[in-house]
Amino acid sequence: MLKLTDENLIRQRIKHPATDIQLQNDYKEFGEEGKKIIEWIQYFDNAEIHNPNVYKRINEFYQYMKLITPDFCYSEEKVILLRNIAEEIKWIDLKFSDNSIIDELPIFNPQKHSPDFKLINAENIEDILNEIVYWTRFMLSRPFFDQSKLINFNLVNRCEDASRYIYQLARVYNLNAHIIKIPAAFSNTEYLYDSNVGYHYFVIIEIDSKSYIVDCTYAQFFSWYRNQIDRLGNYSFCGCNPGIFMIMNEEREKVARKILKDGWIELTDKNISLYLDGFAISYRNGLYYEYIGTADYQSHYNVEDYQNFLFTDDSQLKREGRKYLGYQLKPLQKSDFKF
């Protein structure tokens, strides 16, 4: 089976569905389970990109994978099947990534905005923040300045550039601004994954006696991409994206909607904790929940913890351990664990 080692190969696989001959070559040797996998793959190959029923089907596919894993991960032959399925998930996730799990669009309308950057009276704090966000979104949406470029998978790998742009615009207003990096599992001294991946950047802007979280690429975490809860618990997979956990809780969802719509929110102890909770929970794999005995989607960290995570050598990785974070390197003891 072709290994999908980069995004270009994944997109080529989406563009060119597998033939019956290819599927038979990849899965026939696995008997009934192979036949079922072929049926799943053909469904996703034929499904329309914006078909709302597909979200549920992806979640069901993850459930199915967990059910067959205990029987398939202890022999080399059957490990091959799991590896093949992991390759299939790459293109399935990406094919439907231009869908969102939340109905909140960014405010962005170039036709109603001045074509020139303007300095605003420093007393109008909201107007200043809105102007900074507008021009950052303007940059992110080039060349056609389309609102659709400001949501979902379009924003992946744009957070550092966007944060630097926000910082520069804040300095035009003579405002103190700080680019903040959230490393995977909040670990600056040891990588959670094989390399320095899984991080996110946002900006803190200070205006008078208050501070504000500014994040213009936050919508990437609310795509369907890696946002099915039954992704959790699958052998060799990392956890879900922060978005699915933000919409599970009323207070977290309120913070998320504010940032998704306006691009900023006041930095209070409560708001920054809720914002960072989504990231903390997202780093956990299924073994964490099996260990604590329940699907408890709370971070159990407070603002002091997060300050230590971001500005000292303390980290979630040190506190919780590698076994329960990042890639799940053992199957669940109970494949029907309810997430």
Convert the pLDDT of each residue in 236-257 to its tens digit. Answer: 999 999 999 999 999 999 999 9
Grouping H, G, I as helix, E, B as strand and the rest as coil, residue 59 is helix
Domain spans, the chain: 7-95, 110-324
Per DSSP, which regions of 169-282 are E strands?
Answer: 176-182, 200-207, 210-214, 264-266
With beta carbons less than 8 A apart as the criterion, state whether 167 and 179 touch. yes
Crossing angle (nearest 10°) for helices 53-72 and 76-95:
170
Report the SS3 class of residue 68. helix
Look up residue 49 and give its DSSP letter: T
Helix axes 250-262, 269-282, angle to 10 degrees: 100
pLDDT band at 145 (very low <50, low <70, confident <90, very high): confident
> Could you check whether the bond before residue 143 is cis, i.e. omega within 30 degrees of 0?
yes
Q: How many CB atoms lie within 10 A of CB 197?
A: 10
Question: What pLDDT is stored for residue 311 in this prediction?
Answer: 96
| Mean pLDDT for all residues in the chain | 93
User: Residue 275: in which H helix or E strand, if any?
Assistant: helix 269-282
Nearest to 58 by CA among 38, 40, 83, 73: 40
- In this prediction, residues 263-286 reach a mean pLDDT of 98
More confident residue, 3 or 205: 205
Secondary structure class of 110 (helix, strand, coil): helix
CA–CA dist 8, 11 (Å, integer): 5
Three-class SS state of 314: coil
pLDDT at 77 over 80: no
Phi, psi of 332 (to 5 degrees): -65, 150
User: Which amino acid would we find at residue 280?
Assistant: A
Where are the extended beta strands (E) located within 117-184? 176-182
Q: Are 57 and 43 in contact (CB under 8 A)?
A: yes
- 143 pLDDT higher than 90: no
Residues sharing a CB contact under 8 Å with residue 110, sequence separation 6 or more, in sequence order = 138, 145
Decide if 273 contacts 310 (C-beta within 8 A): no
Instruction: Give the pLDDT confidence score for residue 194 in this predicted structure.
Output: 79
Q: What local confidence, expressed as pLDDT, does residue 73 receive? A: 62
Cβ-in-10-Å burial (0-12, 13-18, 19+) of 107 comes to middle
Residue 296: DSSP 8-state: -
User: Per-residue pLDDT tens for 160-219?
Assistant: 999 999 999 999 999 999 999 999 999 998 999 977 778 999 999 999 899 999 999 999
- Report whether pLDDT(150) > 70: yes
Residue 107 gets which letter from DSSP?
A: P
Could you tell me the pLDDT band of residue 72, with boundaries at 50, 70 and 90?
low
> What does the pLDDT average to over 281-289?
98
Question: Residue 118 — very low, low, confident or very high, per pLDDT cuts 50/70/90?
Answer: confident
Look up residue 128 and give its amino acid: I
